[in-house]
Amino acid sequence: MSFNAMFNRLQGQPESYERKAKYRFGRTLGAGTYGIVREADGPDGKVAIKIILKKNVKGNERMVWDELDMLQRLKHPHIVRFVDSFESKDKYYIVTELATGGELFDRICEQGKFTEKDASQTIKQVLGAVDFLHHNNIVHRDLKPENLLYLTKDPHSDLVLADFGIAKMLDTKDEVLTTMAGSFGYAAPEVMLKKGHGKAVDMWSMGVITYTLLCGYSPFRSENLQDLIDECSNGTIVFHERYWRDVSPDGKDFIMKLLQPTPEDRWTSEQAMKHPWLSGETATDHNLLPEIKAYMAKARLRRGIELVKLTNRIEALKMAEDDPENPDFADAQQEQTPEQKAVAAAAGASGKAKLSKAMKSAIFREVVLAKVREMKEEEQTLKIKEEVEKEAKRKSFTG
């Protein structure tokens, strides 16, 4: 037994904790309910390490073991690859490959052009991963653009599905799950209604993602749960002429096959994989993000990203407050945002009590700034729309 192993045993650390020494931890990539995700350098390159506080999953440890079991089984080119796992006295560590190419929608905005053909092939990659999961009796339950990542910056990089934190492995192919899951705007009606759900929830989410890819906005606009349930349950999907006139009939048909309110009427992953739209032959070369549409799509995406970042800041601050001496979380503060640094500075001399007050102040400031940006973007959008409409009228008059 090495000296380090002996020392760890004396400290009451599990045997697997020795593997932590293989990784050099870097910046924080995100934060959530149960812990954080950090970048790290490993023996074979950069990785992402999910760090889960055991106290946050006490009595719910099965969730961690289920995620580990699933990740080790999932070997697919469009699913993030499992690398390693270990634990300490107070934390679980799950190591996966690091996708450095950015989120799906970020990449689209950077390109400035995204055709229907591009969308069909993007969805084909994601659906291939979902079909693989479903054939292995696994439901992801949290499909959304933020969980679709490019492996590298290369223009031809693979898109991979990530975050299996609430995924479930079914005991039988027809097993019904009853716990709440999914993200607002992407969760299927049966999840929100707590009726029990299965693989079909992933297909609903795929429908929402596809719709958004093809026009830059969500098919559902409601901002509270009951209104969203009503909107999703009535079976009406609107394809606004202004944004959808150049999208192929097959593209719209593919969406309608997935956004069926009744799970039994919704196409399965196996059926969807055979849809003609995914061949790319019927999809058009029409650019989906020109002028106003591009601006509106980017504005919506920026607001979504800002909200995610705000949530992450809140969670990171909460964890710093709960466990200030924790080295994993303390090290993460080296890559703080200016807002986090300001909060830390405000709390420096007076400890935990002041930190809570400063945290609330920082959060309030971020919300106000995000709202101001949103109002400015809406004003600019209206201005651009008016200019385009005037130009269209002028052309029709002179033509």
Binding residues, by number, are 54
> What φ, ψ does residue 27 adopt, rounded to 5°?
-70, 160
Q: Token digits for 332? A: 């993460």
Could you tell me which residues are beta bridge partners of residue 92? 52, 87
Helices (H), the chain: 3-10, 61-73, 104-111, 116-135, 189-192, 200-215, 225-233, 241-244, 249-258, 269-273, 291-322, 327-332, 338-347, 352-398
Q: Do 126 and 161 touch, CB atoms closer than 8 A?
A: yes
In the chain, the amino acid numbered 304 is G
Rounded CA-CA distance 189/192 in Å is 5
Rounded CA-CA distance 210/191 in Å is 20
| Count of beta carbons in the 10 Å neighbourhood of residue 268 | 14
What letter does residue 101 receive in the DSSP assignment?
S
Rounded CA-CA distance 375/369 in Å is 10
Tokens 């690859």 label which residue?
81
Catalytically active residues, by annotation: 142
Q: Token digits for 44? A: 């074979």
